[in-house]
Amino acid sequence: MKKILALFFILISVTAFMFATGSSEKQDDSAHPQVIIRFPTAGASGALYSVGAAITNMWNTQIPFVKASSQASAGGIDNLNQIADGESQVSIAISSNCWQSFNGTDSFEGMANPDLRVIAGLYLNPNQVVVTERSGIRTLSDVKGKHFAVAASGSSVEGECKNHFTAAGLSYPDDIRAEYISFSDSAELLRNGQIDGAWIMSGIPAAAVSQALSSGCRLLDIDEKTIANLKAEYPWYVTYTIPAGSYPNQKEDIQTTAIKMVLFCSAKLDDETVYMLTKTLWENMAELGESQASLRNLTAEEAVRDIAGLPIHDGAQRYYKEIGVL
């Protein structure tokens, strides 16, 4: 009888211990306070908006303490300002704008944000220069005196025009008859012959480029000297090839430049949250890529490269070190 009672009490003790341990583990899983993530992207009709929506939906589903939502914005510069002001917590922009925000240059003059931190470098965003056949434009320097669409005034795309045309030996914007219009408007004016060329920065294939190349336009190569001048001046450019056949009537590879899109946040966002955001992002990247073409075939190894030397958040670093990337 004593042995039976002893075994009974041991069983009760073990059960109580297991219950307590299980309860403790459950409490640990839910111990982190809820974190609200506001994620500005770009215009609601653009590719970035759907990318942001896919990422925030995945975080909501996979991380119990995170409540994330994407929202339309005016684009990269607006996104960076929102993070700096604390209005939003995570966003996306090209690495050049991130570098400028971090260092307080260009559009961010006097407004440096030393708290900017990288979560992941994502995909390369290539520059695509479209010109009409009858314009006679064969190089960037040939754009001098031509009627050319440079996107919205003060936008990151206009910044690309300034950098590239300057590297090609032009005085920007004085040497160009600049038109400040959207990509879709540019495609329409190209098709109608109302402008000679347009600058489009987007993932491939871009609808505006497809439309233009279907109606008597072509993509322009950016020469080695211009690219070398850009790389000597700025830390974020990489050489990029648009493969032949990417667009209608494109029979040859096109050499251009690209800048990596960067997922970023503030250093003030706690390490555990950013660790979970980073870990969950990469563990679900294959699934994300099924619905978002720009996220296909991305790797964590590439996520820490070509990010203009920007600092990676400590929480993200923890994940990259765990998987041997850092």
Domains of the chain: 35-123+261-322 (3.40.190.10), 125-259 (3.40.190.10)
Instruction: Kindly indicate the confidence band of residue 15, based on its pLDDT and cuts at 50, 70 and 90.
Output: very low
**Rounded distance between C-alpha atoms, residue 79 and residue 52, angstroms:** 12
264 forms beta bridges with 91, 118
Does 7 have pLDDT greater than 80?
Answer: no
The CA distance from 133 to 212, in Å, is 11
Band of residue 202 on the pLDDT scale cut at 50, 70, 90: confident
> Which range, of 37-46, 134-143, 287-296, averages the lowest pLDDT?
37-46
Q: What are phi and psi of 306, to 5 degrees?
A: 55, 40
What letters, b where the CB count within 10 A reaches 16 and e where it falls short, cover 149-188?
bbbeeebbbbbbbebbbbbbebebbebbebbebbbebbbb
Q: What is the pLDDT of residues 35-94, one digit of tens each?
A: 999 999 988 867 789 999 999 999 999 999 999 999 999 888 999 999 999 999 999 999
- For residues 27 and 31, give the distance between their C-alpha atoms in angstroms, rounded to a whole number: 6
Would you say residue 16 has pLDDT above 80? no
Q: Are strands 217-219 and 116-132 parallel, antiparallel or unpaired?
A: antiparallel
pLDDT, mean over the chain: 90
Percent of the chain whose pLDDT exceeds 70: 90
Distance CA(282)–CA(293), nearest Å, equals: 16
